[in-house]
Protein backbone atom coordinates (compact mmCIF):
# COMPACT_ATOMS: atom_id res chain seq x y z
CA UNK A 1 0.00 0.00 0.00
CA UNK A 2 1.27 3.46 -0.88
CA UNK A 3 1.56 5.99 1.98
CA UNK A 4 -1.60 7.99 2.69
CA UNK A 5 -1.36 11.68 3.58
CA UNK A 6 -4.31 13.62 4.98
CA UNK A 7 -5.58 15.84 7.77
CA UNK A 8 -6.82 14.15 10.93
CA UNK A 9 -8.22 14.84 14.38
CA UNK A 10 -6.88 12.73 17.23
CA UNK A 11 -9.76 10.95 19.02
CA UNK A 12 -7.69 9.22 21.70
CA UNK A 13 -5.42 6.24 22.06
CA UNK A 14 -4.01 3.40 24.14
CA UNK A 15 -0.51 2.27 25.04
CA UNK A 16 0.84 -0.64 23.01
CA UNK A 17 3.91 -2.51 24.30
CA UNK A 18 6.65 -0.75 26.26
CA UNK A 19 7.55 1.76 23.58
CA UNK A 20 4.62 2.20 21.22
CA UNK A 21 1.11 3.63 21.26
CA UNK A 22 -2.02 3.20 19.15
CA UNK A 23 -3.97 6.35 18.35
CA UNK A 24 -7.42 6.70 16.82
CA UNK A 25 -7.90 9.51 14.35
CA UNK A 26 -10.81 10.85 12.33
CA UNK A 27 -9.98 11.51 8.69
CA UNK A 28 -12.15 13.11 6.00
CA UNK A 29 -11.48 10.46 3.35
CA UNK A 30 -11.29 7.20 5.31
CA UNK A 31 -13.23 7.85 8.50
CA UNK A 32 -11.85 6.48 11.74
CA UNK A 33 -8.36 4.99 11.51
CA UNK A 34 -6.19 3.16 14.05
CA UNK A 35 -2.51 4.02 13.75
CA UNK A 36 0.37 2.40 15.59
CA UNK A 37 3.03 4.93 16.59
CA UNK A 38 6.32 3.14 17.15
CA UNK A 39 8.56 4.72 19.77
CA UNK A 40 5.85 7.08 21.01
CA UNK A 41 6.39 6.12 24.68
CA UNK A 42 10.15 6.55 24.74
CA UNK A 43 11.41 9.34 27.03
CA UNK A 44 12.76 11.46 24.17
CA UNK A 45 10.18 10.53 21.57
CA UNK A 46 9.76 12.92 18.65
CA UNK A 47 5.99 12.49 19.05
CA UNK A 48 5.72 14.20 22.43
CA UNK A 49 2.77 16.60 22.43
CA UNK A 50 1.63 15.54 18.95
CA UNK A 51 -0.67 12.63 19.85
CA UNK A 52 -2.93 14.41 22.34
CA UNK A 53 -6.68 14.00 22.01
CA UNK A 54 -8.33 16.88 20.07
CA UNK A 55 -5.14 17.77 18.15
CA UNK A 56 -5.66 18.71 14.50
CA UNK A 57 -2.76 17.12 12.63
CA UNK A 58 -1.46 16.15 9.22
CA UNK A 59 -0.51 12.46 9.08
CA UNK A 60 1.29 10.18 6.67
CA UNK A 61 0.76 6.45 7.27
CA UNK A 62 0.78 3.11 5.53
CA UNK A 63 -0.49 -0.45 6.14
CA UNK A 64 1.64 -2.67 8.35
CA UNK A 65 3.33 -5.59 6.57
CA UNK A 66 2.65 -7.97 9.46
CA UNK A 67 -0.77 -6.94 10.82
CA UNK A 68 -4.00 -5.11 10.23
CA UNK A 69 -2.92 -1.80 11.76
CA UNK A 70 -1.67 1.24 9.91
CA UNK A 71 1.80 2.51 10.83
CA UNK A 72 2.29 6.24 11.35
CA UNK A 73 5.24 7.59 9.38
CA UNK A 74 4.99 11.35 9.88
CA UNK A 75 2.80 13.73 11.82
CA UNK A 76 2.58 17.54 11.72
CA UNK A 77 0.70 19.52 14.34
CA UNK A 78 -1.66 22.03 12.72
CA UNK A 79 -3.68 23.15 15.75
CA UNK A 80 -3.43 21.87 19.34
CA UNK A 81 -6.65 23.50 20.65
CA UNK A 82 -4.86 24.49 23.85
CA UNK A 83 -7.82 26.62 24.98
CA UNK A 84 -9.88 23.43 25.38
CA UNK A 85 -7.34 21.93 27.75
CA UNK A 86 -7.18 25.16 29.73
CA UNK A 87 -10.91 25.09 30.52
CA UNK A 88 -12.50 22.19 32.37
CA UNK A 89 -15.91 23.01 30.86
CA UNK A 90 -14.51 23.15 27.32
CA UNK A 91 -12.57 19.92 27.91
CA UNK A 92 -15.75 18.22 29.07
CA UNK A 93 -17.78 19.41 26.08
CA UNK A 94 -15.06 18.41 23.60
CA UNK A 95 -14.74 14.98 25.23
CA UNK A 96 -18.47 14.36 24.77
CA UNK A 97 -18.28 15.42 21.11
CA UNK A 98 -15.34 13.10 20.47
CA UNK A 99 -17.09 10.16 22.16
CA UNK A 100 -20.14 10.65 19.96
CA UNK A 101 -18.06 10.81 16.79
CA UNK A 102 -16.27 7.62 17.80
CA UNK A 103 -19.63 5.92 18.13
CA UNK A 104 -21.02 6.88 14.71
CA UNK A 105 -17.91 6.98 12.52
CA UNK A 106 -16.87 3.80 10.72
CA UNK A 107 -13.44 2.77 9.48
CA UNK A 108 -12.67 3.06 5.77
CA UNK A 109 -15.76 5.21 5.18
CA UNK A 110 -15.73 8.71 3.71
CA UNK A 111 -16.44 11.09 6.58
CA UNK A 112 -15.78 14.59 5.29
CA UNK A 113 -18.92 16.10 6.84
CA UNK A 114 -18.28 14.51 10.24
CA UNK A 115 -14.67 15.66 10.11
CA UNK A 116 -15.69 19.24 9.32
CA UNK A 117 -18.35 19.19 12.06
CA UNK A 118 -15.91 18.08 14.75
CA UNK A 119 -13.27 20.51 13.52
CA UNK A 120 -15.75 23.41 13.63
CA UNK A 121 -16.95 22.41 17.09
CA UNK A 122 -13.41 22.20 18.49
CA UNK A 123 -12.54 25.55 16.89
CA UNK A 124 -15.48 27.31 18.56
CA UNK A 125 -14.91 25.57 21.89
CA UNK A 126 -11.27 26.65 21.76
CA UNK A 127 -11.55 30.11 20.23
CA UNK A 128 -12.40 32.45 23.11
CA UNK A 129 -13.52 32.83 26.71
CA UNK A 130 -16.90 31.15 27.07
CA UNK A 131 -19.35 30.61 29.87
CA UNK A 132 -20.72 27.21 30.69
CA UNK A 133 -24.12 28.00 29.14
CA UNK A 134 -22.53 28.86 25.79
CA UNK A 135 -20.60 25.58 25.74
CA UNK A 136 -23.74 23.66 26.67
CA UNK A 137 -25.67 25.32 23.85
CA UNK A 138 -22.82 24.63 21.46
CA UNK A 139 -22.90 20.96 22.41
CA UNK A 140 -26.66 20.81 21.87
CA UNK A 141 -26.16 22.25 18.38
CA UNK A 142 -23.42 19.67 17.74
CA UNK A 143 -25.70 16.79 18.71
CA UNK A 144 -28.53 17.87 16.40
CA UNK A 145 -26.18 18.46 13.48
CA UNK A 146 -24.61 15.05 14.09
CA UNK A 147 -28.07 13.45 14.02
CA UNK A 148 -28.76 15.18 10.72
CA UNK A 149 -25.49 14.02 9.14
CA UNK A 150 -26.18 10.38 9.95
CA UNK A 151 -29.67 10.56 8.47
CA UNK A 152 -31.67 11.02 11.66
CA UNK A 153 -33.01 14.55 11.31
CA UNK A 154 -36.17 15.02 13.39
CA UNK A 155 -39.45 15.95 11.66
CA UNK A 156 -39.94 19.64 12.47
CA UNK A 157 -42.20 20.85 9.64
CA UNK A 158 -44.94 18.22 9.54
CA UNK A 159 -46.79 16.48 12.36
CA UNK A 160 -45.50 12.99 13.14
CA UNK A 161 -49.05 12.01 14.07
CA UNK A 162 -51.16 13.04 11.09
CA UNK A 163 -48.72 14.57 8.61
CA UNK A 164 -50.30 18.04 8.71
CA UNK A 165 -48.05 21.06 8.24
CA UNK A 166 -47.17 22.67 11.58
CA UNK A 167 -48.04 26.27 12.35
CA UNK A 168 -46.15 28.67 14.59
CA UNK A 169 -46.87 28.29 18.32
CA UNK A 170 -45.37 29.23 21.67
CA UNK A 171 -44.96 25.59 22.71
CA UNK A 172 -44.56 22.32 20.85
CA UNK A 173 -44.70 18.68 21.89
CA UNK A 174 -41.73 16.64 20.66
CA UNK A 175 -42.25 12.87 20.54
CA UNK A 176 -38.98 11.07 21.20
CA UNK A 177 -39.63 7.67 19.64
CA UNK A 178 -41.54 9.07 16.64
CA UNK A 179 -38.75 11.60 16.12
CA UNK A 180 -40.65 14.85 15.68
CA UNK A 181 -43.40 17.28 16.61
CA UNK A 182 -47.14 16.96 17.03
CA UNK A 183 -49.61 19.48 15.62
CA UNK A 184 -52.10 21.25 17.91
CA UNK A 185 -54.80 18.76 16.97
CA UNK A 186 -52.76 15.64 17.78
CA UNK A 187 -51.42 17.20 21.00
CA UNK A 188 -54.88 16.97 22.56
CA UNK A 189 -55.14 13.22 21.99
CA UNK A 190 -54.13 10.96 24.91
CA UNK A 191 -50.58 9.68 24.72
CA UNK A 192 -50.13 5.97 24.24
CA UNK A 193 -48.68 4.07 27.24
CA UNK A 194 -44.90 4.44 27.39
CA UNK A 195 -44.77 7.43 25.01
CA UNK A 196 -41.97 9.91 25.72
CA UNK A 197 -42.84 13.56 25.06
CA UNK A 198 -40.87 16.77 25.60
CA UNK A 199 -42.23 20.31 25.65
CA UNK A 200 -40.26 22.71 23.42
CA UNK A 201 -40.52 26.49 23.24
CA UNK A 202 -40.40 28.25 19.89
CA UNK A 203 -36.85 29.46 20.66
CA UNK A 204 -35.69 25.94 21.49
CA UNK A 205 -37.24 24.67 18.27
CA UNK A 206 -35.33 27.35 16.32
CA UNK A 207 -32.08 26.06 17.81
CA UNK A 208 -32.90 22.49 16.80
CA UNK A 209 -34.03 23.46 13.29
CA UNK A 210 -31.02 25.67 12.54
CA UNK A 211 -28.53 23.18 13.99
CA UNK A 212 -29.90 20.32 11.90
CA UNK A 213 -29.44 22.39 8.75
CA UNK A 214 -26.02 23.87 9.54
CA UNK A 215 -23.65 23.97 12.49
CA UNK A 216 -23.17 27.59 13.67
CA UNK A 217 -20.15 29.35 12.20
CA UNK A 218 -19.73 31.52 15.30
CA UNK A 219 -20.85 31.76 18.91
CA UNK A 220 -23.04 34.73 17.94
CA UNK A 221 -25.19 32.48 15.75
CA UNK A 222 -26.30 30.35 18.70
CA UNK A 223 -29.86 30.82 19.91
CA UNK A 224 -29.68 31.84 23.61
CA UNK A 225 -32.08 30.00 25.91
CA UNK A 226 -33.14 30.46 29.55
CA UNK A 227 -31.50 27.92 31.90
CA UNK A 228 -34.60 25.74 32.30
CA UNK A 229 -35.17 25.51 28.53
CA UNK A 230 -31.49 24.82 27.91
CA UNK A 231 -31.59 21.96 30.40
CA UNK A 232 -34.68 20.54 28.72
CA UNK A 233 -33.27 20.67 25.20
CA UNK A 234 -29.99 19.19 26.46
CA UNK A 235 -31.84 16.25 27.91
CA UNK A 236 -33.89 15.80 24.74
CA UNK A 237 -30.83 15.90 22.44
CA UNK A 238 -29.07 13.32 24.60
CA UNK A 239 -32.10 10.99 24.75
CA UNK A 240 -32.77 11.42 21.03
CA UNK A 241 -29.29 10.21 20.06
CA UNK A 242 -29.35 7.52 22.70
CA UNK A 243 -32.59 6.08 21.30
CA UNK A 244 -32.22 6.55 17.54
CA UNK A 245 -28.53 5.67 17.30
CA UNK A 246 -28.87 2.72 19.68
CA UNK A 247 -25.68 3.86 21.35
CA UNK A 248 -23.27 1.26 22.67
CA UNK A 249 -24.05 0.32 26.29
CA UNK A 250 -20.53 1.34 27.27
CA UNK A 251 -21.29 4.94 26.33
CA UNK A 252 -23.09 5.82 29.53
CA UNK A 253 -25.76 8.47 29.94
CA UNK A 254 -23.37 10.31 32.23
CA UNK A 255 -21.01 10.97 29.32
CA UNK A 256 -23.76 12.29 27.07
CA UNK A 257 -25.16 15.07 29.23
CA UNK A 258 -23.65 18.05 30.94
CA UNK A 259 -22.27 17.05 34.35
CA UNK A 260 -24.14 17.87 37.52
CA UNK A 261 -21.34 16.39 39.59
CA UNK A 262 -17.56 16.55 39.61
CA UNK A 263 -16.16 17.28 36.14
CA UNK A 264 -12.61 16.88 37.41
CA UNK A 265 -13.33 13.25 38.23
CA UNK A 266 -14.43 12.67 34.63
CA UNK A 267 -11.25 14.27 33.31
CA UNK A 268 -9.21 11.98 35.58
CA UNK A 269 -11.12 8.88 34.46
CA UNK A 270 -10.84 9.94 30.82
CA UNK A 271 -7.09 10.31 31.21
CA UNK A 272 -6.83 6.89 32.85
CA UNK A 273 -8.84 5.31 30.03
CA UNK A 274 -6.66 6.85 27.34
CA UNK A 275 -3.55 5.59 29.15
CA UNK A 276 -4.79 2.00 29.28
CA UNK A 277 -2.29 -0.50 27.87
CA UNK A 278 -3.19 -2.96 25.14
CA UNK A 279 -0.95 -5.97 25.24
CA UNK A 280 -2.26 -8.00 22.31
CA UNK A 281 -3.76 -5.62 19.74
CA UNK A 282 -3.65 -6.69 16.13
pLDDT score of 225: 94
pLDDT score of 126: 93
pLDDT score of 193: 76
pLDDT score of 276: 45
pLDDT score of 253: 44
pLDDT tens string 171-214: 999 999 999 999 999 988 888 877 899 999 999 999 999 999 99
Model confidence, pTM: 0.87
pLDDT score of 69: 79
pLDDT score of 259: 56
SS (H, E, C) the chain: CCCEEEEEEEEEEEEECCCEEEEEEEECCCEEEEEEECCCCCCCCCCCCCCCCCCEEEEEEEECCCCCCEEEEEEEEEECCHHHHHCHHHHHHHHHHHHHHHHHCCECCCCHHHHHHHHHHHHHHHHCCCCHHHHHHHHHHHHHHHHHHCCCCCECCECCCCCCECCCCCEEEEECCCCEEECHHHHCCCCCCCCCEEEEEHHHHHHHHHHHHCCCCCHHHCCCCCHHHHHHHHHHHHHHHHHHCCCCCCCCHHHHCCCCCCHHHHHHHHHHHHCCEECCCC
pLDDT score of 190: 84
- Mean pLDDT by runs of 10 across the 282 residues of the chain is 90 92 95 93 90 97 75 96 92 95 91 97 86 93 97 96 93 95 90 86 96 94 92 95 76 50 45 43 39
Amino acid sequence: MHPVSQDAIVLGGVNYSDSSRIIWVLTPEFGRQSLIVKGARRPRSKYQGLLETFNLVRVIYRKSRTGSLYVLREIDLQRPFTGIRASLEAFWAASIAVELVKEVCKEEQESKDLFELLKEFLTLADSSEKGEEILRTLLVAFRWRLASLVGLSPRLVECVGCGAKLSKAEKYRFMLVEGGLLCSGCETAPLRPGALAFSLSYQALKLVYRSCRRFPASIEELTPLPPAELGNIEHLSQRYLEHHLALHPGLSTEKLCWPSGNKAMYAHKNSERDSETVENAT
